[in-house]
Amino acid sequence: MNDYDAAPRDAGPRAHERNPARRVRPWPWLRYFALLLTLIPGLAPAAAPLSLTAVHEGPIGASVSYYQETGDRLVLQQAVAALAADSFRPAAAPILNYGIGARPVWLHFRVVNDTGEPLRRQLSVETTWLDRVEFYVRQDGRTLAMDQAGDSLPFAHRSVDSRHFVFQHSFVPGRSEVFIRVQTPDPMLIPLYLHAPEQARSHATLQQYSYGVLYGFLLALLIYNLMLYAGLGVPRYGLYSLYLGAFLLMNIAYTGHGFRWLWPDSPGWAQWSNPVLMVLYGVAGLAFALSFLETRCNFPRVHRAVLAYIGAGVGLLGLAALFSSQYFALLVAFSFVTLFTLIMLSLGLLAVRGGMRAARYFLLAAVAAMAGAATTALAVWGYIPTSVWTYRAVDIGMLLDATLLALALTYQFRVGQSERLLAEQLARQDPLTGMKNRRAFTDEARPVWNIAHRQGHPLAVVLLDIDCFKRINDSYGHAYGDKVLITVAEVIIDTIRQQDVAARWGGEEFILLLPETGLEEAAALAERLRQAIEAVRLRWGDDIITVTASFGVAERDVEHPNLDSLISVADKYLYQAKHDGRNRIRYRPVASVA
């Protein structure tokens, strides 16, 4: 007896023996008759030997027969005896799937080398989480080669440097038998391939390119959003990066990249990494969803329920770790991730119904992620047929999910920026006249003043005040007074130049800053404005109302050290125009126009 005969670890409860796939028959009675034949020992049809000179593109499960252990561990000679007793059943499905916690299974198939020389071929089981995989090659009643691998052994124990479980052998001419024993508490998914060396390299290269695209795309999104989080300090960008990072860790764990690159000497962590990182992925996704959808404010009861779900999932996983039950941890992880996708979909629907515009992208992302994750989970559990597409569905769904969530974040950022710009604009705008308010005037006028002061260019200020405005309000009402203010503002906007800065200064006062304008030019502009305002005719019933305004003009000179002092001088001349009878312009003590 050799080291392959050692008793295995407990593989969990016995799974039901079943054929992973059923063929569709044209008549029901033929289908039932064929099924009956397969259940009678000795009558199950044996699969034809696989030719080693043929090219086998896909998995070879349909050419395999299987036998599940029912009690103590079988050694190779016992498996050979079970085959001789016709206890093996045809698998029929291309990819074999026995579910979580299945009893160890023996696989058997025959190959034929019809050439005159040995042919080197590669057998690979392309599931990375199986605890123990043993390969045996027999011919003429003798065992010619054997090998073993699995994530319960250090990575260096593998005879071939591959993330999959690979066995290479030179098959001698004639017929050979291959036995494979698989044991694991994880989902017993067995995609078995038989390749020539060149074909194996091409097959591996295609997979490497596909994972390179996946990891590169997601890593770029992760780094970009992490930089946004560092620059803007917005939590949802950091949580989105955490979500992408959790998926990447989960993916490199269950695809075997992690065991090959990151923890090759930690088979214990390799066995526990899948359930732990699956739960971490779900927790990170829900944390991002709660932040993005602002559930604490918008849906407080739902927010608390999701937090309770997160706590329950983490607690159950901790309980599984406490009792060292990998089987229970896997049940928790797969259940948690399956419900996670449903919760994400429900949160998206709730937010869309609540009127959140960015939630439309979130909902589409949740649908893509749910479809991908659920398809892969159901395939791994054995409830739907397993293929390359169903196994990689979670990757495709995650690509769509990550892209749509990135669009959702971009849309949310754009909406937030537009709202901030609008709020800033409203804060700088007089709501009645639409002109700049005092704050906006000060912000825009100071750079103009600084340039004129530094370069010695002319600059003038005009202050104007509507005459007898209080009497207009008292006589005709505030609504009519507002109409007067709007009319005067329109006259000012239509008269000034594009480079001039105009604003409502307060009450019935308006201010103009005129760059590259001397005193005489500013007075001329003020006069045009005075005449334009005086020419306005407003109706009040059958009455025609005339509006006038008084103006004060001042020019920058050495006596004005800053803009405030220049405005004070213009205000003094405005007061003088009021004192002198209104509807006139004043600038310099001795000058007067109109």
**DSSP string for residues in 316-372:** HHHHHHHTT-HHHHHHHHHHHHHHHHHHHHHHHHHHHHTT-TTHHHHHHHHHHHHHH
- Please tell me whether the overall predicted TM-score, pTM, comes out greater than 0.75 for this model: no
Q: Which fold has domain 438-593?
A: Alpha-Beta Plaits (3.30.70)
Q: Comparing C-alpha atoms, which of 243, 251, 331 is closest to residue 291?
A: 243
Residue 444, C-beta contacts closer than 8 angstroms, at least 6 positions apart = 436, 501
- pLDDT value for 95: 87
- pLDDT value for 45: 52
Q: Comparing C-alpha atoms, which of 120, 143, 114, 97 is closest to residue 4?
A: 143
Q: What average pLDDT score do residues 297-312 get?
A: 96
Torsion-angle region of residue 38: left (phi > 0), alpha (psi -120 to 50) or beta?
A: alpha
> Picking from 7-11, 325-329, 465-469, which range would have the lowest pLDDT averaged per residue?
7-11
Check: CB of residue 553 under 8 Å from CB of residue 585: yes
For residue 437, pLDDT over 70 is answered with yes
For residue 119, pLDDT over 70 is answered with yes
Q: What average pLDDT score do residues 134-155 get?
A: 95
Check: CB of residue 446 under 8 Å from CB of residue 507: no
Share of the chain above pLDDT 90, in %: 70
For residue 409, pLDDT over 80 is answered with yes
Question: SS3 sequence, 521-537?
Answer: HHHHHHHHHHHHHHCCE
Residue 415 phi/psi, 5-degree rounding, is: -65, -45
- pLDDT value for 19: 38
Check: CB of residue 298 under 8 Å from CB of residue 355: no
pLDDT-derived band at 196 (thresholds 50, 70, 90) equals very high
- pLDDT value for 134: 97
Q: Comparing C-alpha atoms, which of 85, 133, 90 is closest to residue 110?
A: 90
Cα→Cα distances 227→185, 277, 404, Å: 41, 24, 19
Q: Please, what is the average pLDDT of the chain?
A: 87
For residue 283, pLDDT over 50 is answered with yes
Q: Which residue has the higher pLDDT, 29 or 455?
A: 455
Burial environment of residue 239 by CB neighbours within 10 A (0 to 12, 13 to 18, 19 or more): buried
The CATH classification number of 3-195 equals 2.60.40.2380
Share of the chain above pLDDT 70, in %: 91
**What is the Cβ-side half-sphere exposure of residue 206, based on CA atoms within 13 angstroms?**
7
- pLDDT value for 554: 95
Q: Which helix (H) or strand (E) holds 483?
A: helix 478-495
- pLDDT value for 195: 96
Check: CB of residue 307 under 8 Å from CB of residue 286: no
- pLDDT value for 380: 67
Long-range pairs, 408-411, Cβ under 8 A, ≥24: 408/292, 408/358, 408/359, 408/361, 408/362, 408/365, 409/225, 409/236, 409/237, 409/240, 409/292, 409/358, 411/357, 411/358, 411/361
For residue 31, pLDDT over 50 is answered with no
- pLDDT value for 84: 96
Check: CB of residue 188 under 8 Å from CB of residue 130: yes
CATH 3.30.70.270 residue window(s) in the chain: 438-593
The structure tokens 């003020």 sit at 526
Question: Which is catalytic among the residues 69, 126, 508, 555?
Answer: 508
**What is the Cβ-side half-sphere exposure of residue 429, based on CA atoms within 13 angstroms?**
11
- pLDDT value for 561: 83
Q: What average pLDDT score do residues 157-184 get?
A: 96
Q: Which residue has the higher pLDDT, 24 or 378?
A: 378
- pLDDT value for 389: 82
In angstroms, the CA 306 to CA 290 distance is: 8
Q: Among the ranges 97-101, 178-182, 494-498, which has the highest mean pLDDT value?
A: 178-182
Per the annotation, the verdict on 559 as an active-site residue is no
pLDDT-derived band at 66 (thresholds 50, 70, 90) equals very high
pLDDT tens-digit profile of 381-395?
667 776 778 878 888
Q: Among the ranges 27-36, 161-170, 358-367, which has the highest mean pLDDT value?
A: 161-170
- pLDDT value for 589: 55
User: Chain-centre distance of CA 80, in angstroms?
Assistant: 51
Check: CB of residue 175 under 8 Å from CB of residue 110: yes
CATH 2.60.40.2380 residue window(s) in the chain: 3-195
- pLDDT value for 9: 37
pLDDT tens-digit profile of 466-505?
999 999 998 899 999 999 999 999 999 999 999 999 999 9
In angstroms, the CA 255 to CA 547 distance is: 82
Torsion-angle region of residue 256: left (phi > 0), alpha (psi -120 to 50) or beta?
A: left
Tokens matching residue 195: 């390749």
